[in-house]
Each structure stands twice: as C-alpha cells, then as structure tokens.
C-alpha cells in the first residue's frame, strides 16, 4: 500500500531533504528508519526538496510498503528510531497513484525575521536577525504585487527545464512584536525563490526600495535583493485535494 507521511524536522543539521552523495538528509534518515522497522528497502518521495538548513513543520512524503498492521503502530515505531530532529506527525493510506510531489496543489512557506536591536541566542537557529527597523506594512503592501500567475524568474531558477511561471495564491507580511513573519503560498516554487523574495522585501522594509521598484524587480527591470540565509525558512503546509 502507499502511505502519505506528514513530517516535521529541524533542518539545521541536514543537507536538505533529498539524498545527496555527501551529507545527512531527511530522506536518508526516513529510509533508514523504514528499513529498520519493516525490513524493506523503501524509497521515500517528498513534496518538496527543501535546501540545506531549511526546516519543515508539515512536509509531505509518500512511500510504498507491505506493512499490514495499524498505521499508528508504524508511526510510533518510526518515531522511536528516528533522530530527535525528525518526527512523523501523521500517516495516511492514499491511492496507489498518489504522489506527494505531483498531487500537491499548493505549498506554504514562512520566513521569520527577528527585528530587534539585540539578537536572540535561543532563537538564532530559526530566525534571521535584522537590527535595523523594518516597515512591515510597506513590506506587506509590496508583497501583494506577487499575487497571481507570473514569471518569477527574477527570484529563482526552475528545478528542471526553463519554465519560471508560478501561481502565487497568497503573500502576507505581518508583525508580532519584534518578529516579522513572511508567508508565501503558491502552486510551486523556484529554487531559492522564497529566500530572494524575502531579501527583496527586506529592502522595501528598510526604505531602500519602494512598491513601484519592487514591481520592476518582478518584471526583471531591476535586480532582486540577495537571498536571505536558509535557517529562517520553514515549509509549514502542503495541500492536497
């Protein structure tokens, strides 16, 4: 049977989700745990290939198994052998032709900024510290220019081929005390697209770029900002019909 796992992980010590020639990966740890519990050599397919250092609250991943006991027993057994920076939150049986990647209708990422004069050692694994005051209202206003089906080639590259058209469903910047959260929901994302969008929105927040200039960046009439570091980024949701 085919199962969909919803996986949470701290990406700090991982070289991304997908198995690499070198480095520890989320996919590698999941496959090792599955082999230990089931005795099967199982390939795990993720909804997205999060980069080195990127976290996930709800990454989707599917795999096939001959497991014939209750799924809750499998989930608990896997969590017992997985390392502390990975946990399977949920296991569900899905159709045989289901794909965690291609059946996903949209994905949501959140980037967190600590906008305070003093950095936070306890939070530094999960936030980007920016000491200079940022105008979150201006950032949110500019972010609305991202909504719709557009060419996002100014912000990233496609994982394969040359199609840079993506559909942004929601773009929101909100402040909660000293933290600023940037949430982007789209049908799919380009490589480093979120991190470069955030880097460009930070320029807006600092007053170095206005809304019209941000629109010019999308149209490739002006260069985008630098990609922010990965540790502030988290995949928070993958939606399926």
- Residue in 126, 97, 117, 235 with CA at minimum distance from that of residue 178: 117
DSSP H helical ranges for the chain: 26-38, 71-81, 136-143, 193-205, 211-218
| Catalytic center residues | 51
Rounded-to-integer distance, Cα 80 and Cα 202, Å: 41
| Contact (Cβ atoms closer than 8 angstroms) between residue 60 and residue 237 | no
Residue spans of alpha helices (H) in 39-153: 71-81, 136-143
Instruction: Say if residues 208 and 217 touch (Cβ distance below 8 Å).
Output: no
What distance in Å separates the CA atoms of residue 42 and residue 1, rounded to the nearest whole number? 12
């Amino acid at each position: 049977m085919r199962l969909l796992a919803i996986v949470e992980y701290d990406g700090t010590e991982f070289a991304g989700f997908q198995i690499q020639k070198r480095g520890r990966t989320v996919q590698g740890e999941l496959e090792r745990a599955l082999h230990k519990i089931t005795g099967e050599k199982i390939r795990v397919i993720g909804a997205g290939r999060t980069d080195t250092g990127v976290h996930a609250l709800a990454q989707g991943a599917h795999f096939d198994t001959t497991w014939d006991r209750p799924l809750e027993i499998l989930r608990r057994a896997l969590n017992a052998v997985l390392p502390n920076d990975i946990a399977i939150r949920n296991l569900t049986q899905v159709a045989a032709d289901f794909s965690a990647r291609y059946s996903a209708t949209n994905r949501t990422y959140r980037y967190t900024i600590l906008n305070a004069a003093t950095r936070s050692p306890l939070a530094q694994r999960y936030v980007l510290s920016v000491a200079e005051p940022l105008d979150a209202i201006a950032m949110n206003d500019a972010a609305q220019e991202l909504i719709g089906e557009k060419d996002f080639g100014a912000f990233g590259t496609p994982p394969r081929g040359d199609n840079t058209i993506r559909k942004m469903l929601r773009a929101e910047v909100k402040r909660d005390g000293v933290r600023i959260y940037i949430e982007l929901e789209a049908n799919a994302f380009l490589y480093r697209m979120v991190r470069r969008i955030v880097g460009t929105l930070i320029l807006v927040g600092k007053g170095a770029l206005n809304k019209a200039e941000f629109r010019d960046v999308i149209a490739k009439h002006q260069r985008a900002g630098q990609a922010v570091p990965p540790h502030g980024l988290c995949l928070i949701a993958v939606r399926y019909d």
